[in-house]
């Protein structure tokens, strides 16, 4: 299993597969992580890589005790489909 890595220097969670990088970008302030944009290269499209990336990121966010603002439509849709992460959303 390939792990999702938090690249804090680049403000993104990363998943590298077959030399291609999928990433979800964020900013953090006051205990809240805001997901801004998710990119999955076309070579990795349609394989569930984006979902794996966001799941791994959200699992780490939960472990870190942060709340989530999902500005990124992909992250927002993922949380809507996977209700077990709804409690992470900042209200």
18-36 pLDDT per residue, tens: 899 999 999 999 999 999 9
**Strand, helix or coil at 43?**
helix
* Phi, psi angle pair for 88, to nearest 5°: -80, -20
> What architecture does CATH give domain 5-88?
3-Layer(aba) Sandwich (3.40)
Q: Return the pLDDT at 1.
A: 58
Q: Pinpoint the alpha helices (H) of the chain.
A: 49-64, 73-81
Amino acid 91: pLDDT = 86
Q: What are the domain boundaries of the chain?
A: 5-88
Which residues does the chain have with pLDDT short of 50?
Answer: none
């Amino acid at each position: 299993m390939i792990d999702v890595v938090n690249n804090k220097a680049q403000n993104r969670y990363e998943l590298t597969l077959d030399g291609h990088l999928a990433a979800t970008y964020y900013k953090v302030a006051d205990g809240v992580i805001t997901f801004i944009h998710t990119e999955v290269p076309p070579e990795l499209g349609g394989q569930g890589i984006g979902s794996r990336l966001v799941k791994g990121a959200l699992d780490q966010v939960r472990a870190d005790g942060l709340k989530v603002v999902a500005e990124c439509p992909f992250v927002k849709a993922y949380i809507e489909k996977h209700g077990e992460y709804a409690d992470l959303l900042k209200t």
